Amino acid sequence: MTSPAAFAGWLDDTNDITKAFLAAGQIPGLINIAGGLPDPQVYPAAQIAEIAQRAVRDYPAETLGYGPLEGLPDLRSAIAERFSSDDLHLGPENVLVTTSGMQALDLLGKVLLDEGDVIAGQFPTYLGALDAWRPRKPTFRAMPLQSNDLDFTEAMQGAKFAYTVPNFSNPTGRLVPESTRRALVDAARTTGAWLVEDDPYGGLNYDSPLPPRLIDISAQSQPQADRAPYAGPVVYLGTLSKLIVPGLRIGWVIAAPAMIDALTLAKQGSDMCTSGLTQRMACEILNAGLIEAVNPVMLDLYRRRRDALCDALDRHLSTWFEWEHPEGGMFVWVTARDRALDTDALFKIGLEERVCFSPSSVFDATGVFRHGLRLNFTLNDETALEEAVRRLALATQRLVKP
């Protein structure tokens, strides 16, 4: 019998860790602090059930049929209105509704990347973005946002786009300060690279007000006397996933109309349209103020868990590791004091001790950053977080003194 045709080459680029991640779910008693998952107890399930029922009853054709490629007009307008300000003038032509934030990343790859094209990426960077772009075979240029050198022109020169998560980045949890944001926008203008501002975590802000968004900074420097729709280089990505629930799979892109048109064409070959049902539900959720109602509950729960995780790290891991106390988001970024400590190896021993974390190699396009780990604090309660860190300490002890 003839063997089946081979899979595309990029599939061979996945590493062992990805396979081990997939297998980890099967281990009994495992504490998972690897993912970026919300705690389902914060989902306003009863209200969302009512909204779903009303949506189908009141809008049967819209919720059960095909819809416009760009998204429901009501939702596009609601998003444009929510993000507009004195500086940032947005109309529906600036908005594309996507089937989650992940689809937006995928579509960006489709419209911008030919083989070998350069992405200037925050370093370390979001694993899902690397996954979305890997099939297009881009070249990745690391752009460390925490460096003192605020000139990003070199990193962005010749790049198709720069990718950033300025609010409580995945994986580092870092908040990019205003001066760095201004420098990023300046460099995008100078080099002509698009500047992608991926913002799933801005709503999970535990300590102090956020600096302005890149898209707002960019709009400030654009002459808008005629209140023309935004036409700058920033491509802002939002999602309902961390604001309320991930299961609706609703995200959005806010960008110059030319970018929205290109992404719309790409979406046509992807899913034809995002679900009308979940889009209508998103409209109702925005209009009912449900995000604002749920947010304080989320912040209170996650703030306590962040503090519990950091306290547990203080007690159990400070001999070998240091970490940053994040002001928001879902993750604590931990790095080994000894750069030779290999967290890919620690990951495997961790699974034997029934704890699963994300090793830093998966957030590096070249896989060489191997002395860090990303820990999630939103899914598990304080007792489980303490136990997870205790197990991590046992695993580290085994690694350093075999």
Least gap, CB of 376 to ligand PMP (angstroms): 10
From candidates 32, 63, 94, 100, binder to ligand PMP by CB under 6 A: 100
From candidates 67, 124, 212, 246, binder to ligand PMP by CB under 6 A: 246
DSSP assignment string, 257-301 = HHHHHHHHHHHHTTTSS--HHHHHHHHHHHHHTHHHHHHHHHHHH
From 72-80, 94-102, 225-233, 309-317, give the range in contact with ligand PMP by CB under 6 A: 94-102
Within 8 A by CB and 6+ apart from 39, the residues are 301, 378, 379
Specify the DSSP element, H or E, that contains 142: strand 139-143
Which residue type is seen at 230? Y
Specify whether the CB–CB gap between 236 and 253 falls below 8 A.
yes
Specify whether the CB–CB gap between 214 and 234 falls below 8 A.
yes
From candidates 38, 44, 71, 101, binder to ligand PMP by CB under 6 A: 101
Residues 114-143 that bind ligand PMP (CB under 6 A): 126, 128
From 65-73, 239-247, 274-282, 350-358, give the range in contact with ligand PMP by CB under 6 A: 239-247
Using alpha carbons, select from 225, 277, 330, 253 the residue that is nearest to residue 95.
253
Question: In the complex with ligand PMP, which residue's Cβ is closer, 320 or 377?
Answer: 377
| Cα distance between residue 264 and residue 23, in whole Å | 36
From 26-34, 98-106, 173-181, 347-355, give the range in contact with ligand PMP by CB under 6 A: 98-106
Question: In the complex with ligand PMP, which residue's Cβ is closer, 239 or 380?
Answer: 239
From candidates 62, 70, 106, 198, binder to ligand PMP by CB under 6 A: 198
| Cα distance between residue 124 and residue 173, in whole Å | 11
Alpha helices in 178-275 (DSSP H): 178-191, 214-220, 257-268
Question: In the complex with ligand PMP, which residue's Cβ is closer, 163 or 230?
Answer: 163
| # residues contacting ligand PMP (CB under 6 A) | 14
Specify whether the CB–CB gap between 366 and 140 falls below 8 A.
yes
Q: Does 276 bind ligand PMP (CB under 6 A)?
A: no
**Per-residue mark of binding to ligand PMP, 144-183 (x: CB under 6 A):** ---------------------x----x-------------
Using alpha carbons, select from 117, 144, 126, 82 the residue that is nearest to residue 330.
126
Question: In the complex with ligand PMP, which residue's Cβ is closer, 285 or 336?
Answer: 285
Question: In the complex with ligand PMP, which residue's Cβ is closer, 94 or 122?
Answer: 122
Specify whether the CB–CB gap between 84 and 90 falls below 8 A.
yes
From candidates 241, 343, 378, 380, binder to ligand PMP by CB under 6 A: 241
**Per-residue mark of binding to ligand PMP, 17-36 (x: CB under 6 A):** -------------------x
Which residue reads 């306290």 in tokens? 311
| Cα distance between residue 352 and residue 348, in whole Å | 7
Least gap, CB of 104 to ligand PMP (angstroms): 8
- Please tell me the total number of residues recorded for the chain in this structure: 402
Question: In the complex with ligand PMP, which residue's Cβ is closer, 74 or 198?
Answer: 198
**Per-residue mark of binding to ligand PMP, 33-52 (x: CB under 6 A):** ---x----------------
SS3 237: strand
DSSP 335: E
Least gap, CB of 7 to ligand PMP (angstroms): 24
- Cα 217 to Cα 87, 89, 221, 253, 334: the distances in Å are 9, 12, 7, 17, 31
- What would the two tokens of residue 29 be? 């008693």
Question: In the complex with ligand PMP, which residue's Cβ is closer, 200 or 211?
Answer: 200
Interface contacts to ligand PMP, rule CB under 6 A: 36, 100-102, 126, 128, 165, 170, 198, 200, 239, 241, 246, 251
